[in-house]
Structure 1
Amino acid sequence: MQIIYWLLIALMMVGIIGAVVPGIPGISLILVAVIIWGIVKGSFAAIEVPVIVTGVVLLIGTAVDFLAGYLGAKKAGASKWGQIGSFVGLLLGFFGLLPTLPVGGPLLGMLIGPLLGAIIGEFIYQRKLLVALKAGIGIFVGTLVGNVIQGILGITAVVIFVWTTWSQVFGT
């Protein structure tokens, strides 16, 4: 039972990383691990609090993800063109359609892609390089802040899971 518990904790750690790094499952992976523990224990009453907390964290994390990018764009004065460019840049970076990077590969592409996409989209719309740079940086910073907040939410969900289930495994 302890081996399964530690494997699920390791899966949750990947979920925390995924909450911060684009392209890796995040808080949803933590929720899956909590549900697997309920199946292993044969009782969902044993994980009632962690499931509720992780479900709420998933909803809040999703909202934060959208709001952080939006607020970063709004604060920097970005238009819809910058936001669309950021999304297209994310997709291009994720699928490796940006020029091959010597290090970092798709993960670095997912960080650089939205920034470049936002700058290009905003430049196409306004034809002002400084405005486009400001908008691109605003979207980029907003997205990074959102990812950090999601990471903190993921850590919170894992801590509550461990807090409520530790005695089930180790009896202390």
Structure 2
Amino acid sequence: MVTLYWFLVALMAIGVIGAFVPGIPGSILIVIGIIVWGFTQGFAGLGIPLTVALLVFAASIGIDFLAAYWGVKQAGGSQWGQIGAIVGLLLGVFGLLPALPFGGPLLGLLIGPLLGAIIGELLYRRDLNLKVAAKSAIGIVVGSIVGKLIEGLLAVLAMAVFVLSTWSQVVG
């Protein structure tokens, strides 16, 4: 049982890394680890850790979208740029870019919102002012970095709540 616990903690640590690094599964690995541990222990004492992990997972999904939106808005981009960033994020992660021979969703997560914001701004302004479009794209990068930092901190919190709640079951 102790071996399984440490395996699940390692899985959750990968989830924490994934919350910081695009392209690696993040907080979902923490949720999976808690559920697996719950099945082996009858979910005793896992109400709070599971609730925190599920809330962190739901928040991380929203943060990805809001970070791109916020980044464009802070850089002075239009709603077209903001919508383009979100559409670019979706297409980059789930659409065309995963078919690439390398990079896949990671590359899509990085390039999709950038291209989406640039295309959105160019469509809105109806001219080829790449300076304004590039400024919006840079805003997305900054927003995405801030979003990943927030997601990572939340993932650390979820993992810490699990370890603190279950430590006595393993050691004691």
Q: Which consecutive unaligned segments of at least 5 residues does structure 1 have?
A: none
Q: Is structure 2 residue 18 aligned with structure 1 residue 33?
A: no
Q: Hey, what's the Cα distance between the residues in 1 that align with 2:109 and 2:96?
A: 9
> Aligned residue for 2:159?
158
Q: Is the 8 A contact 2:81 2:117 kept in 1?
A: yes
Bigger drift between 122-131 and 162-171 goes to: 122-131
CA distance in 2, matches of 1:136, 1:121: 10
Runs of at least 4 residues off by over 6 Å: none
The corresponding residue for 2:121 is: 122
Q: Tell me, yes or no, if the aligned pair for 1:96 and 1:105 is still in contact at 8 Å.
A: no
What's the secondary structure of 1:31's corresponding residue? helix
SS, match of residue 25 in structure 2: coil
Sequence identity (%): 54
After TM superposition, the score normalised by the length of structure 2 is 0.82
- Find out whether 1:47 has 2:46 as its counterpart: yes
**In the alignment, does 2:10 pair up with 1:10?**
yes
Aligned residue in 2 for 1:148: 149
Secondary structure of the corresponding residue to residue 53 of structure 1: helix
The Cα offsets for residues 111-145 of structure 1, whole Å up to 9 and x where unpaired, read as 13322331232123212221111111112211221
AA matched with 2:70: L
Distance 1:164 1:157 in 2: 11
Contact 2:69 2:85 survives alignment (8 Å) = no
The aligned residue for residue 69 of structure 1 is 68
CA contact (8 A) 1:75 1:138 kept: yes
Distance 2:164 2:59 in 1: 21
Residue correspondences, number: 168
5+ long unaligned stretches in structure 2: none
Worse-superposed segment, 89-98 or 18-27: 89-98
Cα-to-partner distance string for 1:52-102 (whole Å, 9 max, x where unaligned): 22223233333433332222221112223223332343355445649x69x
